[in-house]
Amino acid sequence: VKITGEARFSHYKYSGDLSRDASGFGIGDRNNDATQLRTRLWISGQVNDRWKYVGMLENTKDLHTNDRETQVDFRRAWVEGSIGVVNVTAGRFNPIYMYGTLFDADADGLQLNYSNSNFSVDIFGLRPEGSNRYFRGLQGFGAMPANWDGEQNYTVLGTNMNYAFNDKFNAKFAYYNVDGSKYGEMDADIF
């Protein structure tokens, strides 16, 4: 078992109205600053020669208050390995697709990947964590309903493909289907 960690200190200065818009971004009307210390503890270990386990514990401390904030969240836990030539990731992990332009969120799910020297393809089924602001950004694209409060478990099915012509030029294709039928919403198809 290997244990590693990281700490991130951040300070932001806000001015003006940064209220949440339809995409879910913004933090409300603040004319001050925010200071935080985020600590993460990573635990990983080999299950066997083909599979490994990864988990992450996280604590975020607001340094504006002297409140005792001791909540530690078990934010991610997944296994990754291979079945034949297919790489498998299953559990709660942080998939980043298309350079993170549309999807960069903690999610529960399954991802299958095949890759060789210049081609790779991912096929996945995910349920993004509702509180993650990156996935909330899909509201701005009309892919998530404006009244999504993060509690609904939307299912996202999709694929990503990448072909590298050389080390400086590549082409990508992605397709996402967001299933909103469980909540009376229409499905969203994103290419």
pLDDT-derived band at 29, boundaries 50, 70, 90: very low
What is the structure's pLDDT at 40? 95
pLDDT of the residue at 135: 56
Of the ranges 24-33, 91-100, 113-122, which one carries the lowest mean pLDDT score? 24-33
Nearest to 93 by CA among 56, 121, 58: 56
Question: Beta strands of the chain (E only): which ranges?
Answer: 2-13, 17-18, 28-29, 33-46, 51-62, 73-83, 86-93, 96-97, 103-104, 107-115, 119-128, 155-166, 169-179, 188-190
Q: Classify strands 28-29 and 17-18 as parallel, antiparallel or unpaired.
A: antiparallel
User: What's the confidence (pLDDT) of residue 98?
Assistant: 77
pTM of the model: 0.76
pLDDT at 169 over 90: yes
Amino acid, single-letter form, for residue 86: V
- The reported pLDDT for the residue numbered 89 is 98
Q: Quick check: 3 pLDDT over 60?
A: yes
Q: Look at residue 94 and tell me whether its pLDDT is greater than 70.
A: yes
Contact yes or no for 61/77 (Cβ under 8 A): no
- Binning pLDDT at 50, 70 and 90, where does residue 152 land? low
Residue 144 · residue 187 · CB < 8 Å: no
Return mean pLDDT, the chain. 81
pLDDT band with cut points at 50, 70 and 90 for residue 97? confident
pLDDT for res 43: 97
Say if residue 190's pLDDT is above 50.
yes
**What confidence tier does 108 reach under pLDDT thresholds 50, 70, 90?**
very high
Q: Considering only 18-22, 31-35, 98-102, 181-185, which range has the smallest mean pLDDT?
A: 18-22
